[in-house]
Amino acid sequence: MQPTSAPDYRPLIRQAFAEMEKVVVGQRALVSRLLIGVFTGGHILLEGVPGLAKTLTVSTLAQVLHLHFQRVQFTPDLLPSDLVGTMIYNQNQSVFEVKKGPIFANLVLADEINRSPAKVQSALLEAMQEGQVTIGETTYILDRPFLVLATQNPVEQEGTYPLPEAQVDRFMLKVHVDYLKKADELEVMRRMANLGFKGDVQAVLTKEDIFGIRDQINQVTISDTLEKYLIELVFATRRPADYDLPEFAQAVQFGASPRASIALHRAARAVAYLDGRDYVLPEDIKDVAQDVLNHRILMTYEAEADGVKTQDLIEGILRKVPIS
């Protein structure tokens, strides 16, 4: 796949999957999405009911990638300074000093992000978009790689707040985490029933490896035809009636933003890379279309009341939009 002079990271990536499976059972697709985020610099939003090992998966990933990890439990009384940091007064030296918050890490797990009001959620925006934060009058550059991996419970649950659209759009992928299969849940039960189970994992990738993988993903080619197909998919979310989807014509309030086109392009190349190819296939785009688009489409109130889901629209778009 790569020139002989370039490092072959595929054995390390396979080993990373193997290390993750020592702890996380039946979530290979989720692990793949998390690695796509790490390798492309894209933040990821994980949605699912409690108890599906979302937090465990992210913390284990940080160990496997040997990255500085911080977890923040979002609660209704969390303050922006609890996340970013603040200025504190040093009485001994009679000066103000910066106390950095947990945002200063490589992987930041924003656990149950939608249990805090919008003011706290907005504190993430500068960090997510610019890779920097401002405390007082000073701007601090965050260490690279920097990713926010956020978990949220379904918005129907008590005590949750819908995330602002501007913040949601900054997540490259929104991944729905579902219940395990019976065999996988049986294995989880047997492992966790053992009170001595630790699931120790080894770090197999370094920061330098991650940046090397990013460089190689940038070399994955995507044809002009597939780039135009990708754009048609995004435009179809804005005007579905123009793409032979009249049943959704009145259902969409806002379609996917231009960030969706960028994210779909990056994610498709990452999928191809993880599959051992240096070129993108249509299946790579379709594979990540749901996760890239589902949180960027805002349905009308009437459509939501009628049970129309963004997943149905995206499935219709993938069926109707041709590759030409």
CATH number of the domain encompassing residue 111: 3.40.50.300
Task: Using the 3D structure, point to which of 194, 212, 230 is the last residue of a domain.
Answer: 212
State the pLDDT confidence band at 117, using cuts at 50, 70 and 90. confident
What is the rounded average pLDDT of the residues 148-156? Answer: 77
237 plus 316 within the same structural domain: yes
205 plus 62 within the same structural domain: yes
**Across all residues in the chain, what is the average pLDDT?**
88
Flag whether pLDDT at 26 surpasses 90: no
CATH number of the domain encompassing residue 308: 1.10.8.80
Question: Could you report the per-residue pLDDT of 13-24, keeping only the tens digit for each?
Answer: 999 999 998 888
DSSP 8-state code for residue 106: S
- The pLDDT of residue 125 is 80
18 plus 150 within the same structural domain: yes
Flag whether pLDDT at 4 surpasses 80: no
Distance CA 103, CA 131 (A): 10
237 plus 156 within the same structural domain: no
136 plus 185 within the same structural domain: yes
Least confident range of 93-97, 232-236, 237-241: 93-97
229 plus 197 within the same structural domain: no
Distance CA 81, CA 241 (A): 46
* Residue 186: C-alpha distances to residues 133, 150, 252 (Å): 44, 27, 41
Flag whether pLDDT at 121 surpasses 80: no
Flag whether pLDDT at 116 surpasses 90: no
Question: Could you report the per-residue pLDDT of 273-296, keeping only the tens digit for each?
Answer: 999 999 999 999 999 999 999 999
Task: Using the 3D structure, point to which of 180, 212, 244 is the last residue of a domain.
Answer: 212
Residue 271 lies in a domain: yes
- The pLDDT of residue 5 is 67
Question: Could you report the per-residue pLDDT of 158-195, keeping only the tens digit for each?
Answer: 566 777 787 888 999 999 988 889 998 898 888 877 77
Flag whether pLDDT at 3 surpasses 80: no
Percentage of the chain beyond pLDDT 70 is 95
- The pLDDT of residue 155 is 57
189 plus 270 within the same structural domain: no
**What is the total count of domains within the chain?**
2
Range of the domain at 70: 10-212
Question: Could you report the per-residue pLDDT of 85-109, keeping only the tens digit for each?
Answer: 888 877 777 777 888 899 999 999 9
Say if pTM beats, i.e. exceeds, 0.75.
yes
Task: Kindly give the residue spans of alpha helices, DSSP state H, lying in the chain.
Answer: 10-21, 28-40, 54-65, 80-84, 118-122, 125-130, 165-168, 182-193, 207-218, 224-238, 258-274, 282-293, 301-305, 310-320
150 plus 51 within the same structural domain: yes
Give the start-end residues of each E strand in 101-145: 107-111, 132-135, 138-141
Residue 2 lies in a domain: no
196 plus 252 within the same structural domain: no
63 plus 190 within the same structural domain: yes
